[in-house]
Amino acid sequence: MHTLRASKYGLSIKQLPSSIVEVIDALTKAGYQAYIVGGGVRDLMLGLQPKDFDAVTNATPAQVKEVFGRRCRIIGRRFELAHVYIGRDLIEVATFRAPPKKAVTSAQGMILRDNNWGTIEQDFVRRDFSINAMYYQPRQGVILDFCNAIDDVKSRTLRLLGDPKTRFEEDPVRMLRTLRFAAKLNFSIAPEILDVFTPEMTQLLRDISPHRLYDESQKLFTMGHLQHVLSLLIDFGVWKQLFAEVRPEVSKFIALAARNTDQRIQIGKTINPAFFYAVLLWNNFLERTDFYAAKGVVAAEARAQAGLDVLKRQSTRTIIPRFAETFIREVWEMQTRLLNPKPQQIEVLAGHARFRAGFDFLLLREKSGDENTQGMGQWWEAYQDMTTDEKEAAIAQYNRQRAKTRRSQSKVRIEEPEVDSSSIAPLVTEAPTRSRRSRQKSSAPVTSPAVAFSAQSGDSIDANHPILKRKRVQRDLSQVIFGPTQ
């Protein structure tokens, strides 16, 4: 073990939020050991701003709850933890782990239960990467390094503690963490990891709960390096394990959405991770919609059923929460409404709760070369910056253009063969042209074309004649689709 002086590596208690310091101080005052561990220490050493800080202690979760009372919640069954709430901050407090006395694992070697308490010397061995196994005591100003992790930080190398194959089998999610850290920190992956990180090894991710895989996918989407990690997911065969039927390729649309997501994170804007799921599954949604349309399902029902099918299929890998599914389907539905809005509804549509997400999606499609947007992405972009008078003028211009387009589409020219009109007797005798006054004075009943034809030809037609009755057309019910199809 090496005891490092924290100030030598740029760490200071002044860099820490008051919440993590309060947790460390409370546990120390209660007579327990307490350290900051994991990504928070690593990021501070690399000059990055950590998103959160985790604590580790020799106090059991029950003892942690005794220290913090109602501000503490114990969570987890496989891996029991204490969540401590300090104001609006949540601090995760773990207990030192020891090797299990009797391993409780699956047939593939995944650890199913890991609640054996131990010492700090036993705990560091249980951690995944060396760079996440440094323990920082802010009051004492020291860092405990049990595995020469500082050397891996200096060489910017990802190295697993122990045998990589065994560590992946214990928890297959470590494969996702490997790619996430490699992309986020721009670290190289150690050769011994590359030797076992094969497409066959990625099959172990099928044993992970779809709920947990969804949480891990959100970390990939929101870390600010989505562009880099997408190519790694394809190269290492992980893409197929996360996304059910999405082609393993980064299309121009996906690449543009990933770059836009990273840029928003870098400037501090909020993002909705479900938005990128809508981008990933867009082509699958279009293909499924065409499938139902080909069966004669009306457009609105085809889109609704296609959205359900695609999201249900994706849930076999990552279960998207219900509120996120609703958001994705609304973004997809907004595409149709934004492409061909009714002029009188444009103003209301611009105030819709999902307008911004739908517009961003449409504009990304247009910028990626999707010709089906018909330039409406730029139209909506310009519309949002207009004054009230300019908006009215734009809507009027849009209405005129829309009417002109509809008229041009409705003109269908049918070429009729030329015939000799003199050889065909007219069905209805053309009446001589009369003035309005003479038409008003005339009290003769109006003669229908059928009766006129009867009078001309000499045949009698009564009320029951078939020509005066509407012919009923029998429909082939075997070709009618009742409700959603499978």
Task: Give bridge partners of residue 136 from the DSSP assignment.
Answer: 36, 143
State whether residue 23 is helix, strand or coil. helix
Q: Supply the DSSP string of 89-148, one letter for each residue.
A: EEEEEEEPB---SS--B-TT--BS----B--HHHHHHHSSBGGG-EEEETTTTEEEESS-
Phi, psi dihedrals of residue 158, rounded to the nearest 5°: -90, 120
Which residue matches tokens 């070697």? 109
Which residue matches tokens 């211009």? 397
Single-letter amino acid, residue 73: R
Question: Which tokens go with 114?
Answer: 């890991």
Of 1, 48, 7, nearest to 137 by C-alpha is 7
State whether residue 448 is helix, strand or coil. coil
What residues are labeled active site?
A: 52, 54, 128
Stated as kind and residue range, the H or E segment containing 28 is: helix 18-29
State the angle between helix axes of 376-384 and 322-339 in degrees (0 to 180), rounded to the nearest 10. Answer: 100
Write the DSSP symbol of residue 72. E
* 47 Rama sector, left if φ>0, alpha if ψ -120 to 50, beta otherwise: left
Separation CA 391–CA 384 (nearest Å): 8
Separation CA 201–CA 194 (nearest Å): 11
Separation CA 278–CA 364 (nearest Å): 12
Stated as kind and residue range, the H or E segment containing 37 is: strand 34-37
Separation CA 366–CA 370 (nearest Å): 5
Question: Which tokens go with 193?
Answer: 């990891």
Q: Contact 242/318 with Cβ under 8 angstroms?
A: yes
Separation CA 285–CA 296 (nearest Å): 17
Separation CA 372–CA 339 (nearest Å): 9
> Which residues fall within 8 angstroms of residue 173, CB to CB, at 6 or more apart?
205, 208, 212, 213, 216
Q: Contact 210/315 with Cβ under 8 angstroms?
A: yes
Alpha carbon 234 to its chain centroid, in Å, reads: 18
Stated as kind and residue range, the H or E segment containing 73 is: strand 72-75
